[in-house]
Amino acid sequence: MEAAAPCGGWCGATINTIITPFYNRFAKHLLYCFTAGTSVREHRIKAEDLIRKRAGVQEMFQANEHSLDAVLREQTRLWLESTDRLVSNEAENRQRYTQRYRLCGCCSPNCAGNYKISKRAVEELEEVQSLLASVPGDNNITRAPDPRRVECKLVDPAPIPPSRWIILRGALLFIVSDDPNEGIVGMWGPDKNDNTNLLKHINNSFLKQSIFDFVIFVPSSSNCSVTNIQSEIIKRLGMKHDGDEETRATRIREQLENKNFLLIVDDLRQNLDLGAVGIPYPLGFVGEKKRKVVIMSLSGYRSVSNLIGVNKNIELPILQEEEARELFSQSINYQGDLYSDPHIGPHATNLVSAINGLPSELVRYGKSMRATADAGSWKVAIDDATSKFSRSRSIEDTLHLIEHDPTLGAIGIWGPGGVGKTHLLKKIQGFFKGKMTVIWVTASSQCSVSKLQTQILGELKLKGNGNVGNQSGVIHDFLENKSFLLLLDDLWERIDLEAVGLPLPLGIEPLSKLKRKVVLTTRLTSVCGGMEVKKQIQVPYLQENEAWELFREKVGDGTLLSPGIKDRARILVTEMKGLPLALVTVGRAMYKKCHPDQWDSAIQHMKKSCCIDINEDPLEMEKEVFRKMKFSYDNLKSERLKNCFVTCALWPEDHEISMEELAECWIGLGLVDVGDIQSPYAKAYSLMSDLIGACLLEVCGESNGVKLHDVIRDMSLWISCGCGENNGNWFVRAGVGPDKFSSIPWSSAKYISLRSSNMKKLPSVGDPLQLKVLCLQHNMLYIHSIAGLLVNCAKLTYLDLSYNHLKGIPESLCHLAELIHLNLSQNMIEEVSHSFGNLIKLKFLYLQHNRIKVIPKEVISRLAALEIIHLDVMWVSDSTKSNVYRELGTLNHLKVVVTSVGLLDASMSLHDAADLPIRSLRLVSSSAKTKKFHLYDILSLDFAQTTLYDLDIADNQFVTDITLIQRPELQPYSFGVLSNLIVHNLEALTTLKLMETSPKSVFPRLTYLRVSRCLKLEHLSWAMYLPCLEKFHVVRSDSMREAFTKYHVDNRWNGQESSQIFPCLKHLSIQYCGTLITIAGPDVTFPSLEVLKIRGCPKLKKLPFDMGLPPSLQVLVVDYTRSWERLELEEGVKSLLQPKLQFLPFSIKDAFLLWGSNYIQPLHNQDAHSRSIFS
């Protein structure tokens, strides 16, 4: 038995080896004939499982496709295709089996047919099971789509000068290089538009090439953070913006990993972690793939390239003179030799020089000056370019140091007064405003910790209590976790910044990256040392050619072309040693002085003033500057005008002076005669115009204010004190803080100004004073603070105590028998005492904005000399109100009344004032809640027709309609002399209706209209027909969709169709109207419009301009480039408007706005040239 086992085992194995293949080959196939039903059922069960799995995959794909714009991964696509095929095959096989079963009533006896069906079911069942085992997971079903080829968003590039083609070729050669170490090229230049234009050429060079799969252009942005760059790339790649920063980086990396790509980033201003963005590393030529990045920055940010680790640096320098002249000549489209033209050639040369080689500016100015032969227009352009581009390099370097140097905490800008330090500081302020907390403080010569704290608290809108230590803590706590920039203008001595409250140390905090920076301006280099500045920037005097150009612009070519003048003018310029302020003021003083003797006299005046030597004592230098600039003062046409100029120094340094406030001051000092109701103000404004024309006063934008340059103010004080002899007549310490008054010359001074100094008390002086003028406004004085001093001010003629804390009128004030001008407005006075009537010489009294409830009888009538009175009577009883107006009617010299009453009871309140010379009327909120206000009630009063120049309707939340209906039975009236109308803060107002009368009839002389914070106002159509309207400001209306509609139902009258629309409107400003879609339809015209300003109107799409633009339009101002791009205008209109386009100041989109172009020029196709680089 034991011997047989091996034989049996061997035989069994042998038989198995022989038989098994035959069994597998024949028996399995034989079984197919008898197992068709079983095979089909098993196949169906698994196929149904597969169908369910397919549905799940498709559902996930559809969800991702909808939310993420995703596409199927390749393996998922193949899985679904296989699934579809097998499911279809199973259904087809099962249907054939079912048909054979039904035909035979049972399993078909056809063995061949059964064999085929069963075999197919078994074989495909294996594939089904394989697919069931490889169902894609949720995270592997989809991926982001392949990005589309990206073109530059800003269409085509503009032409570029030859030197830029050389730079472009160098950049392109680097980009296409196969060197594995050439991945990032860093470029920089001073002209942002030129920088962008070159990048667009780079971008377009690859649009028709196969070198790169993706060319991704990331446009300019003021905040180039990882998140923002990712957003731009995702948008350019056509991907959905989802997930956190890391998730987005992963998706970007997946898209670019195995692709040839070129990333172009414009206007980068800070370090950027490209890896965190999602850019695959390493960059360069990697595994047959090109991964290239181009970074562009302004010159001030050129160090950004080093932070990123660029492999090649390329600078875009300013154009050389010859190339700049050629580019300008091409842009102006001049036929012939532009610079040989005797009329405009010299102007063109000067303008090109002022532009300082910036290509886009040469193009922009060239296009704007096409067909311009007027010398005045060329002067304006030159002046504009000079102010924009001079010393831009200093600004550029300073901006870079502030933003990027971690060790640099304080920067000192120094130079003599009038050389342009404050101008540079304002440029810095404009650049960083919005990027960090920017605080502007005017230090001046009387600076202190307390004064700085007060200004900083005001800038930050924080409250202080006057305690230096407490205020320091408040400032420190607010700034501790913020990036801030403190701008200290005109610092004269060291200030302890830690005592002020600034968190130290200054610089860039290494962990938090918070920026703590200080930039100061000073006339003294020793101050820079005392403040421990790490970087000093000297602002130099102008070079000879710059000085000549500035002087020439101010004096005018007409004067210089007079016989014998030009050579003398050059000598005069040389004597002023390049000091801009002196050049400007003396230049204006010599305007239209065409006799050589006048110029000889000016030269002798300058020669008597010592030459400026930067090594001299700065204070002595100031005196010599004053002597030079005094020439412009000496050339003022009258002693009255000179006195008006000197009194402007009573206000604090760098203070914006209201023109109305200045007029009242001059009237009160007797420098302007009152005459009739309007003449004193007209005369005062005329005198201001003379001072502005002499460049001794500056206009403050659109705010109806003026100011003195700090050096001119110092000169004014120097003149008032006897040109340095310190005669003691004047003492001005305005805006300096209460700790600077230890040595006030009370006994000798005749003019004292201590305004805006946070004073709480004044000394009692024993001896009678010589004081004539005392300015104490904007302090914190109470009755007891001033009563003792006023006892000894018997000679006082001018007293200003406005904006204090007076709750009553000091008795000692009521005995100032010589007092002519008294301002007590903006206090808390509730009662006028009976003795107030003792002020029998008082001519000018200002009592508005108090809460006066008691005015005894016969007080007003005893003020027999009164000529001007400002008095609110809202709070007094009706009987007192009537008595006050009746007593005012008895004053024979009264010329001007300014008053306020309740809006809805105005007619009754003003009944007794109908014959008074009311010049200005303010109608404000009252206790009545009536919804309709009838303008006829005011219009029917005599003063409204004859003396009312200013009407202010304000502060009411109930009035919905202001109406004026001129019924036939009513006497037709008009506001005969009304010049200014303000409608403000009427929250419920929906319309102003003029029915059966025309705006021309009601407001025949209205020149200024302001409508603000009328949130429900629907339109302003009635204003279109104002015949004399010149300035129109609309601010904050949340219900207005179309501002002006012709033939609106609210405004109908006979002759409307023949009425002119906006015949005199020059300035139109529309701001913060969130629902405004269009300003007006095409049937509304603006024949005289010069300036249109639009701000904060996000839905505005239409301007009322077609190809026939307003003939006088000079400037179109919008807030942002996106506002301009959003406008939907007829074809060709934008190109007509573009030369007139300006963006608002204080935009921080890019540094170039500080000294360069505010918009992108029309572009021209240069694709062929771009592609030719490769040839």
* Domain residue spans of the chain: 21-143, 162-315, 318-374, 392-538, 541-634, 636-727, 729-734+745-894, 897-989, 1010-1144
Among residues of the chain, what percentage have pLDDT more than 70? Answer: 83
Q: What is the DSSP code (8-state) at residue 738?
A: G
Q: What was the pLDDT predicted at 244?
A: 79
Report whether 904 contacts 933 (CB < 8 A): yes
Mean pLDDT comparison of 148-152, 418-422, 1085-1089, highest-scoring range = 1085-1089
- The DSSP bridge partners found for residue 964 are 994
What is the model's pLDDT at position 1117? 87
The pLDDT value given to residue 948: 93
DSSP state of 1056: G
Q: What is the CATH number of domain 729-734+745-894?
A: 3.80.10.10
- pLDDT of residue 778 exceeding 90, the answer is yes
Mean pLDDT of 572-578: 77
Res 714 pLDDT > 90: no
Question: Ramachandran region of residue 826, left (φ > 0), alpha (ψ -120 to 50) or beta?
Answer: left
Q: If you average pLDDT over residues 1073-1080, what whole number do you get?
A: 91
CA distance linking residue 778 with residue 1078, whole number of Å: 44
Q: Model confidence at 109, in pLDDT bands (50, 70, 90)?
A: low
Across the chain, mean pLDDT equals 80
Of residues 425 and 466, more confidence is placed in: 425
At 269 the pLDDT is: 75
The pairing of strands 484-491 and 284-286 is unpaired
Which range of 53-62, 434-443, 806-815, 927-936 scores highest in mean pLDDT? It is: 806-815
Provide the β-strand partners of residue 992.
962
Which pLDDT value is given to residue 393? 55
Q: Looking at the predicted structure, is the pLDDT value of residue 16 above 70?
A: no
Q: Pick the residue with more confidence: 179 or 995?
A: 179
Lowest-confidence segment of 256-270, 459-473, 566-580, 743-757 by average pLDDT: 566-580
Percent of the chain at pLDDT > 90 equals 20
Q: Are 437 and 461 in contact (CB under 8 A)?
A: no
Cα separations in angstroms, 241 against 64, 65, 231, 235? 13, 13, 7, 8
1142, pLDDT greater than 60: yes
**What phi and psi values does residue 934 have, to the nearest 5 degrees?**
-95, 110
Cα angle vertex 1065, ends 1092, 369, to 5°? 50
Distance from C-alpha of 802 to C-alpha of 342, rounded to nearest angstrom: 59
What's the CATH superfamily of 162-315?
Answer: P-loop containing nucleotide triphosphate hydrolases (3.40.50.300)
Query: In this model, does residue 1053 exceed pLDDT 80?
Result: no
The pLDDT assigned to 715 comes to 81
pLDDT value at 1154 more than 50? no
> Helix or strand or coil: residue 275?
helix
E strands, 987-1030, are: 991-995, 1008-1012
Per residue in 314-366, pLDDT (tens digit) is 888 888 888 888 899 888 888 788 888 888 888 888 888 888 888 988 888 88
Task: List the one residue out of 814, 878, 834, 667 whose CA is nearest residue 824.
Answer: 814
Identity of the residue numbered 1174: F
CATH homologous superfamily of 392-538 equals: P-loop containing nucleotide triphosphate hydrolases (3.40.50.300)
Strand partners, 315: 188
Q: Which stretches of 407-524 are DSSP H helices?
A: 421-432, 449-460, 468-479, 497-500
In the predicted model, what is the mean pLDDT of residues 1012-1030?
91
* Local confidence band at 1155 (pLDDT 50, 70, 90 cut-offs): very low
Q: Which CATH number fits domain 636-727: 3.40.50.1220, 3.40.50.720, 3.40.50.2300, 1.10.10.10?
A: 1.10.10.10
Cα separation, 893 vs 865, in Å, equals: 6
Q: List CB contacts of 830: < 8 A, sequence separation 6 or more.
A: 807, 808, 850, 851, 852, 853, 854, 875
160-169, 569-578, 918-927, 1024-1033 — most confident range: 1024-1033
Per the CB < 8 A criterion, the answer to whether 966 and 996 are in contact is yes
If pLDDT is split at 50, 70 and 90, which confidence band does 568 have? Answer: confident
Phi then psi for residue 471, to 5 deg, are -65, -35
Q: pLDDT tens across 152-178, in order?
A: 344 456 778 888 888 888 888 888 888
**Per-residue pLDDT tens digits for 59-98:** 877 776 655 556 677 778 778 888 888 888 888 888 887 8
**Among residues 110, 310, 290, which one has the least CA distance to residue 211?**
290
Which pLDDT does position 983 carry in this prediction? 94
pLDDT of residue 1170: 29
The better pLDDT of the pair 26, 1156 is held by 26
Range with lowest mean pLDDT among 482-486, 771-775, 1025-1029, 1044-1048: 1044-1048
Contacts of 403 (CB under 8 A, 6+ apart): 269, 270, 301, 432, 515
pLDDT of residue 674: 83
DSSP secondary structure of 791-837: TT-TT--EEE--SS--SS--GGGGG-TT--EEE--SS---B--GGGG
The pairing of strands 214-218 and 261-265 is: parallel
822-861: burial string, b at 16+ Cβ within 10 Å, e else: bbbbbbebebbbeebbbbeebbbbbbbbbebeebeeebbb
How much is the pLDDT for 103? 58
Q: Specify the pLDDT at position 613.
A: 46
Helix axis angle for 359-368 and 375-389, nearest 10°, is 160
Residue 867: φ, ψ to 5°: -115, -35
Residue listed under structure tokens 């890391």: 246
What are the C-alpha distances in Å from 209 to residues 203, 691, 1112, 1167, 1174?
Answer: 11, 64, 48, 12, 10
Q: What is the mean pLDDT of residues 515-536?
A: 86
Of residues 807 and 176, the one with the higher pLDDT is: 807
Q: Check for a shared fold between 162-315 and 392-538.
A: yes
In this structure, what are the phi and psi dihedrals at residue 133, rounded to the nearest 5 degrees? -80, -10
359 prior amide bond cis, ω within 30 = no
Average pLDDT for 125-139: 82
Please compute the mean of the pLDDT values over residues 865-885 and round it to a whole number: 91
Residue 321: enclosing H or E segment and its boundaries? helix 321-332
What's the rounded Cα separation, in Å, for the pair 702 and 1117?
13
pLDDT at 136: 82
- Which single residue is written with the structure tokens 């005011």? 938
pLDDT on residue 526: 82
For residues 1166-1171, average pLDDT? 30
Q: Give the model's pLDDT for residue 1146.
A: 37
The pLDDT, as a whole number, for residue 1175 is 28
Please write the tens of the pLDDT for every residue from 263-274: 998 888 777 888
Q: Which residue has the higher pLDDT, 1073 or 464?
A: 1073
Name the DSSP letter for residue 433. Answer: B
Most confident of 74-78, 505-509, 594-598, 895-899: 895-899
Strand order, beta sheet including 991-995: 932-934, 961-965, 991-995, 1051-1052
Please say if the pLDDT value at position 1052 is more than 70.
no
864 compared with 270, residue with greater pLDDT: 864
Written as six digits, the tokens of 676 are: 């009739």
* Most confidently modeled range among 385-394, 520-529, 587-596: 520-529
Closest CA to 392 of 1162, 1168, 1157: 1157
User: How far is the C-alpha of 898 from the C-alpha of 716, rounded, in Å?
Assistant: 32
